[in-house]
Structure 1
């Protein structure tokens, strides 16, 4: 039994390592393909809060990483290329865009991963142009993303036979415990997408209930703030305020989510009673993030004023007066 459990853990960790590699390389490849266009898009289409939210949503969907988009926004704010207020809408939009991943993860596409991996590998190895190789890498990593989730799903399937594991997973139905586990896992692996992917696969194998999945999902939203806060170090007060807004948005949303988790879970069940638990968790992710954005969007001007009052911009030191020669 011990050797069997070790095999399950090793296979599951192998799938997780592949997933994290695929996520990081996919985001990097897509950033190389569309990096300059993304910067121009963020500068051009974020003049109003609704447009900034829409832009953040679309760009995050294309780059498949809310962290990359928020960190990019922080870098642009730090460089003075993106006004601080505009970045707040981008942060909100990124939180909607990241839910597209959980919807895709709920599909069982792992066995079809070769459809993307094979053309990607051919482009990566045979293309003589850098652009072609980058597109090939993006395709290969996109397929690898779903293949790694398939490995994780196959690895955890035998855990149904272990009563101790089932008992521990049931304890995650406690909202605080589940959220704490989600935050810790996301903090350790630095990827909320990986946490959601594992949650969805555990649910698909009948190992995780909807209340537990929602609780872990709430915690993952908090854990993802760590890398964006790290990105603000040494970048000035405007960038720091963008990172703090992201943290504050998630803290308040998660607190409300934990307080209302029972009626929220009931609402998800009523809305998606026909779907399996994995799909219900994916729907819950979308509903939660969209509700949070709708709540915060009208408050963006107030948040801006509060953050500006708390962390006013540093004044440039006055230039010394020139002393003319007598």
Structure 2
């Protein structure tokens, strides 16, 4: 028996509108929070990237620190590509930062897994007070960060409340069961990230769906892996038309994520068992957040020692253009 269109609208509209509101608020909060953190740090980020990337290990640690601070791996990697293009950073220095950014982005999933949406008003109220009463720019910027953090929590809370009725809808349950195919789930995650322009939003939605028991852990992991692939779209676009070194940096990010995801999808069942063992007794949403950390940390550790080899191959495949000689003076 099919549900009439009008009745279907009445069923799904009370879910879709709050879900859309929460998603828009979350995406706005991510950008607002990132802008506030960048304003606080100023030009120091460029200095840190150029000073603390002497080798792969320090590059990874720098990438982790800055991505955790800005809550956006795309911003950090795009900034790194720009520095490589400007020759403020070498291609080989950039590779450690790219790997570290993949680990740093997992901080947001750990934050999302905390059930603190009901406290969202507290950082927003404190932040608004600082923005209204602060006489120094730094206090105003700190207020912006707190307001952005509160809006992020509120957006997650709205989405979590919106999807609650979906558990009782057979059509939604059938569609969710289709995501049990990890390859299809990863494709959905990648597409969602390209559309939303935020892997954090995709991972956040996956955490919510797993927490509401609309998805099992393996399906949530597949969505998360897809989000890792979707986030490469921005960095590839940022490298188009740049120097060969900048283009190699974007291709390294894509290659690393793609190979990690292929390996993860092929080993998704044993990986899920490992996550359950590591996260014994944890809530489902925390299990997925831990899976995000474990997936990226293992991937970086597996590749870190091979960075010089990969760098050599990329430089051979895509060498720098020969510099044009300066015109002779007449």
What TM-score range do you get, normalising by the shorter chain? Answer: over 0.9
Distance 2:229 2:268 in 1: 16
The offset of 1:132, in angstroms, is 2.3
The offset of 1:93, in angstroms, is 0.3
| Matching of residue 18 in structure 1 with residue 25 in structure 2 | yes
Give the TM-score normalised by structure 1. 0.96
Aligned to 1:264: 271
Deviations 1:284-307 (A, max 9, x none): 111100011001101111111111
Deviations 1:179-208 (A, max 9, x none): 011011111101000001111111111211
Give the TM-score normalised by structure 2. 0.95
Distance 2:123 2:242 in 1: 38
SS at match of 1:317: coil
Displaced runs of 4+ in structure 1, greater than 4 A? none
SS at match of 1:170: helix
The offset of 1:52, in angstroms, is 0.4
| Matching of residue 175 in structure 1 with residue 182 in structure 2 | yes
Equivalent position to 1:41, from 38, 43, 48: 48
Do 1:170 and 1:209's aligned partners in 2 also have CA atoms closer than 8 Å?
no
Moved more, 268-277 or 80-89: 268-277
Equivalences for 1:67-216 in 2 at 5 Å? 67-216=74-223
The offset of 1:225, in angstroms, is 0.4
Distance 2:184 2:240 in 1: 30
Distance 2:145 2:319 in 1: 41
Distance 2:112 2:62 in 1: 23
Deviations 1:145-183 (A, max 9, x none): 111000000000010110110111121111111101101
Distance 1:139 1:82 in 2: 32
SS at match of 1:47: coil
SS at match of 1:164: helix
Equivalent position to 1:237, from 229, 234, 244: 244
Distance 1:20 1:91 in 2: 23
Aligned-residue RMSD, C-alpha: 1.1
The offset of 1:38, in angstroms, is 1.1
Aligned to 1:31: 38
Equivalences for 1:55-66 in 2 at 5 Å? 55-66=62-73
Distance 2:327 2:157 in 1: 65
Aligned to 1:246: 253
Equivalent position to 2:302, from 295, 298, 302: 295
Distance 2:72 2:50 in 1: 19
| Matching of residue 278 in structure 1 with residue 281 in structure 2 | no
Moved more, 52-61 or 115-124: 115-124
Aligned to 1:50: 57
